[in-house]
């Protein structure tokens, strides 16, 4: 009798897993358009957040500022097989040293960050890091972790403007988790190498900000939101050791100088 009960139990377990395996053969994500739904939600969220930031700060569309930064972005994308059309660059007038990625490929770069970089390679490093967050789909994962799916759904279906305002700081003042940051750094270095942009200046920039970092310098948001900076600097230097090719400048010296001059006049 015990053997029969055991066999019946095994049969039930097999039936359960058999049923699950058979059902797995059907592409439910496609059937219920679940992938499309999440793509639509991401687009809506991206538009809402981008609109919020653009409405609260002045967007700089001046060609002397926008064009050089966009050239860096386009070069990083084109040399790494990334569809640049998917990334929407917004340069906002803000003295904070910060840049961040929003859902659906929106990238916000504050003028304060551009002004704080000393070379196109430093700025390229930061842009490459944010491109990595976008291409590796870290943004939605971060939002899901920070806010939960229910909040996200309520934002995409209902009137989410209030929630957008309350949750925008997720992007400006909190980091991705350590693994995602490490992945973004690693990807950024790969992107820079492919674009023949030296990666060392990215480490120099982080190091410079980390050195300056003290409680009175709260405007250095980008560094505050990316913890363990010294470890990151070390990682970037170790990872890129021996990989850099002969550098190929993206911008003309004069263009870079004009950009800095224009930012200084703001």
Residues that bind another protein (CB under 8 A): 1-2, 4-5, 8-9, 11-12, 16, 19-20, 23-24, 26-29, 32, 34, 38, 141, 144-145, 148-150
Closest CB to another protein among residues 44, 88: 44
Closest CB to another protein among residues 148, 249: 148
Closest CA to 199 of 165, 157, 146, 235: 235
Q: Which two tokens stand for residue 15?
A: 């039936």
Q: In what order do the strands lie in the sheet with 106-110?
A: 88-92, 106-110, 99-101
Helix H or strand E encompassing 88: strand 88-92
Closest CB to another protein among residues 12, 217: 12
Tokens 């997720």 — which residue?
170
Question: Minimum distance from CB of 2 to another protein (Å)?
Answer: 8
Closest CB to another protein among residues 180, 197: 180
Task: Return the C-alpha torsion angle 183, 184, 189, 194, nearest 10.
Answer: 100
Closest CB to another protein among residues 11, 61: 11
Q: What is the CA radius of gyration of the chain?
A: 23
Question: Minimum distance from CB of 34 to another protein (Å)?
Answer: 6
Closest CB to another protein among residues 36, 61: 36
Using the 8-state DSSP alphabet, how is residue 85 labeled? Answer: G
HEC states along 93-129? Answer: CCCCCCEEECHHHEEEEEHHHHHHCCCHHHHHHHHHH
Question: Minimum distance from CB of 23 to another protein (Å)?
Answer: 4
Question: Minimum distance from CB of 224 to another protein (Å)?
Answer: 24
Question: Minimum distance from CB of 38 to another protein (Å)?
Answer: 7
Question: Minimum distance from CB of 19 to another protein (Å)?
Answer: 5
């Amino acid at each position: 009798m015990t053997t029969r009960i055991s066999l019946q139990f095994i049969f039930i377990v097999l039936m359960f897993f058999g049923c699950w395996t058979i059902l797995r053969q059907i592409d439910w994500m496609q059937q219920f358009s679940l992938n499309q739904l999440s793509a639509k939600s991401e687009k809506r969220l991206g538009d809402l957040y981008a609109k919020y930031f653009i409405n609260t700060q002045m967007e700089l569309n001046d060609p002397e500022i926008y064009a050089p930064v966009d050239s860096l972005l386009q070069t990083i994308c084109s040399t790494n097989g990334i569809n640049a059309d998917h990334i929407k660059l917004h340069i906002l007038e803000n003295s904070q040293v910060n840049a961040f990625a929003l859902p659906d490929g929106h990238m916000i770069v504050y003028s304060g960050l551009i002004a704080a970089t000393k070379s196109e390679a430093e700025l390229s490093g930061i842009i490459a890091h944010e491109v990595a967050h976008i291409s590796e789909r870290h943004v939605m994962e971060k939002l899901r972790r920070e806010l939960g799916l229910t909040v996200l759904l309520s934002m995409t279906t209902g009137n989410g403007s209030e929630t957008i305002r309350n949750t925008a700081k997720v992007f400006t003042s909190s980091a991705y988790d350590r693994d995602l940051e490490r992945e973004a750094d690693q990807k950024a270095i790969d992107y820079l190498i492919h674009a023949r942009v030296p990666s060392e200046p990215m480490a120099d920039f982080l190091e410079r900000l980390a050195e300056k970092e003290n409680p009175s310098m709260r405007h250095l948001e980008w560094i505050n939101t990316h913890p363990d900076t010294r470890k990151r600097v070390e990682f970037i230097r170790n990872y890129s050791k021996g990989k850099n090719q002969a550098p190929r400048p993206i911008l003309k010296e004069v263009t870079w100088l004009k950009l800095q001059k224009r930012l200084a006049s703001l």
